[in-house]
Copies of this chain bind each other. A is one copy, B any other.
Amino acid sequence: MNQPQAGLRHSIVLRRRPDGMPSMADFEMVQEPIPTPAMGEVVTRTLYLSIDPYMRGRLSDRKSYATPVQIGEAVTGETVGEVVASADPGFAVGDIAVGGRGWQSHVLSKAAALTRIPKGDAPLSTYLGVLGMPGVTAYSGMTDIGQAKEGETVLISAASGAVGSVAGQIAKRAGAHVVGIAGGPDKCLFVQERLGFDACIDHRSMDLGAAIADACPRGVDVYFENVGGAVQQAAFASMNMFGRIIMCGMVAQYNDAEFPPGPNLGFMVAKRVRMQGLLVFDKPERFAEWRTLAAPWVADGSLAYRETIIDGLERAPDALAMVLGGDNFGKMIVRVASL
């Protein structure tokens, strides 16, 4: 890919639809003049770009809840940016805002699609992670579907990730016994020591079912599903009567052209389990709720989070491949420019 040049807008656009794991060759960088906002629009200079598993879905033309990214179009993604031009009374040059989607150095947005965030409160990158879309996803999932009660057992896959790490800490605050599943000893150590989960299972365990049974002696009341595959199979087999399953994501299959079969669903009837799919944008009011609730916890350090930040817009495709392969650690963020 070309190197970015100063004074231009750089965008990473889709060159062709990836076959399996996305690679650099599926994208290209295009350069063009920085756009001028029309009435009601704002241009932000991107500081941080969020990289999330769901983006893989947008690169396929498979039917989904969202329109896929078109060939030649910039890839979608949340950003935190600084307002550099505004034709809307709600935003002034120098304001910091989150929203306005795209793998771009400068994003032209409708003002209504942006939320101004306070400077100097929490680190700006947290508005893409613990205080942003992944944090709100965890909060919505636990509030609207999981509803873990004191003494219940909550099992969370991708527990060191941006969503799982927050979901588990919310469940701990509710008084639940919280068990994570993560990839490898470093992540498991982080989940137990830093996030304060009661236990963490390495998903590379020989016998995942036995490991879950061991860590969840009273079975599983709430399962927060982020991965699919063998982990899903083992987790479903551990569900208690009247359990709840939050279907948030199935990252294990996002690169698959054909989706594999799932677990047999007899347990849903026998145990009267409730399973529900989640998209954070279905309840937009949860964003403000969560930021109000969690910003003090970020400030006082009682809500732990971890970010992996890499520098340079041109590395966004690499960052996505890391997320899909489980090679990131915590919330994956690309730093596009400095304030």
Contact = CB atoms under 8 A, between A and B. Distances in A.
Interface of A: 57, 63-65, 228, 232, 241, 247-250, 253, 259-279, 282
Nearest to A248: B269
A264 B271 CA distance: 20
B263 A247 contact: no
A272 B278 contact: yes
A238 to B, nearest CB: 12
Nearest to A254: B266
Contacts of A64: 270
A276 B253 CA distance: 24
A116 to B, nearest CB: 29
A61 to B, nearest CB: 14
Nearest to A233: B261
Interface centre among A249, A276, A277 (most CB of B within 10 A): A277
Contacts of A266: 228, 250, 253, 259
A276 B268 contact: yes
Specify how many copies of this chain sit in the oligomer: 2
Contact of A264 (B248, B262, B272, B276): B262
B259 A264 contact: yes
A269 B247 contact: yes
A131 B80 CA distance: 60
A228 B263 CA distance: 12
A235 to B, nearest CB: 12
Closest CB pairs A-B (n = 6): A261-B261, A259-B264, A272-B277, A247-B268, A268-B277, A274-B276
B265 A269 contact: no
B264 A261 contact: yes
A318 to B, nearest CB: 25
Contacts of A260: 264
A274 B274 contact: yes
A288 to B, nearest CB: 21
A80 B16 CA distance: 67
